[in-house]
Structure 1
């Protein structure tokens, strides 16, 4: 260590530390900054004593003031529920089929249902409920299991093809791979294409219509218009859950589809289920 000396350029005493010929000037921090720093240390120690701070094995120190953000949230939720208690009772007792848009109860149910939908349903049906491949669009008029509000509530409450609710909506399309020959699958696909596309092989579609009548009409209907009691889609319109190109249709006929929806009645309160039903029905696609 070299001896302290005065820097020729600045006139400030050096600390005696030198790195590569550069000498460190002895410029201490201002007193006001130093005391502010000490004050923050004291404040920090006091904070950890007064408020929850130090993590423990199963929680954290509670602090002398007993403050809890969880308790505050729980208190706010309880206060909110108390304010809406009458509306919740009314919602649970209401006949949803006659609930008039514009009424206070309908507005409350729609707002509550929208919040639940965004938190629980949008992951599959999309934030705007427009759906995706394999997940129904809730804005149109094509409903596999019925689009009136009673049917929508039942679908939400019990789900589809799940194994947790004995009242779940249930149907199963057979996989025709092994039942039909490849040529027969092609014929059925061509018939389904012909229902909504004028550009098709008429002769092949005619062959497929016979196979369809013998094997598919029991669920999809004689005119392929679907059956909401069985969740069988209408094959004659332009709304398709998985797609209507020939490759996709061939895959569907050959392997079948088996979409599953959870039973939300086992996860949500009755009022939340009913609120979501009101919200979905109010989107405009419900029957």
Structure 2
């Protein structure tokens, strides 16, 4: 027998088209590590939560819970912030900025709350979108000082949760047998002309008559609006639902009816959180 025959690795006995499969055993160190991982996995599933059940998971002998750890951390930080939270909840918003510690805390807390609950509609930068107000400008229905902002946050707009206190205004759907198609076309042309926009269709003079008869009681005779009753100014360049002829006509025909929740009736909002959001929104630049 040759030397090569002594060193030759045995095969499994399988052969495919002349190709044989060597029977090379795994390194012993690898095998022992593999066994160790099996033992470790069994021990982990016994000691820690591991196997999912119908409504929960096996708790493990050590009773470890990431949820409990997070809850404990939250309680710790709430206790640390308890004093400043109490001051913020009872603060006079008009003088809040005079207390730097509470004010700075309010801004940071309000920023986080806004990102969680408000940015879905008003945008992450609070610039709004079509149908959702821009909070960075000075065009505020119902007032934009910090107290009015807090009231709007607390009670919302046209919602059913806080009907007695919610900000409320309603524009009629003039397309429902109130105005003819020609009257709507004319009043759209007139309304756009108030903001200096050009029109390809409609008679501005005729639209002015329609506006005086149907719209001036809320938007005022000069179109500057009455924000106390939620009627926007039609003479500026700020258009909540768009300024194109089609968008303005849609507003006239259907009557926009945006809704904002009454956050004061949400279990996740207390006085401190409402005041914090009001302070954050107010300091963005548009608050009065």
Structure 1 and Structure 2 fold alike (TM over 0.5): yes
CA change 1:251–1:154 in 2 (3 A) is same
Q: Which residue number corresponds to residue 260 of structure 2?
A: 261
Q: 1:168 aligns with which of 166, 181, 184?
A: 166
Q: Normalising by structure 1, what TM-score?
A: 0.93
Hey, what's the Cα distance between the residues in 1 that align with 2:233 and 2:106?
Answer: 31
Hey, what's the Cα distance between the residues in 1 that align with 2:13 and 2:156?
Answer: 78
Hey, what's the Cα distance between the residues in 2 that align with 1:149 and 1:20?
Answer: 85
SS at 1:133's partner residue? coil
Could you report, residue by residue, the CA deviation over 1:2-48 in whole angstroms, capped at 9, with x for unpaired residues? xxxxx98x932111122333211111110001000100110111111
Q: 1:35 aligns with which of 32, 42, 53?
A: 32
Could you report, residue by residue, the CA deviation over 1:83-116 in whole angstroms, capped at 9, with x for unpaired residues? 0001100001101122117711111001001101
Please list every run of 5 or more consecutive structure 2 residues that lacks an aligned counterpart in the other structure. none
Structure 1 contact 15–24 (Cα < 8 Å) conserved: yes
Structure 2 contact 188–249 (Cα < 8 Å) conserved: yes
SS at 1:23's partner residue? strand
Q: Which residue number corresponds to residue 3 of structure 1?
A: none
Structure 1 contact 172–258 (Cα < 8 Å) conserved: yes
Hey, what's the Cα distance between the residues in 2 that align with 1:257 and 1:150?
Answer: 26
Q: 1:103 aligns with which of 100, 103, 117?
A: 100
Q: Which residue number corresponds to residue 244 of structure 1?
A: 243
Q: How do 1:54-65 and structure 2 match up within 5 A?
A: 54-65=51-62
Q: Which residue number corresponds to residue 275 of structure 1?
A: 276
Structure 1 contact 149–286 (Cα < 8 Å) conserved: yes
Q: Which residue number corresponds to residue 224 of structure 1?
A: 223
Structure 1 contact 101–107 (Cα < 8 Å) conserved: no
Please list every run of 5 or more consecutive structure 1 residues that lacks an aligned counterpart in the other structure. 1-6
SS at 1:136's partner residue? coil
Q: Normalising by structure 2, what TM-score?
A: 0.92
Could you report, residue by residue, the CA deviation over 1:182-231 in whole angstroms, capped at 9, with x for unpaired residues? 11111211111111126348992222222212211111122211222221
Q: How do 1:40-119 and structure 2 match up within 5 A?
A: 40-100=37-97, 103-119=100-116
Equivalent residues, number: 281
Between 1:122-131 and 1:264-273, the stretch displaced more is 264-273
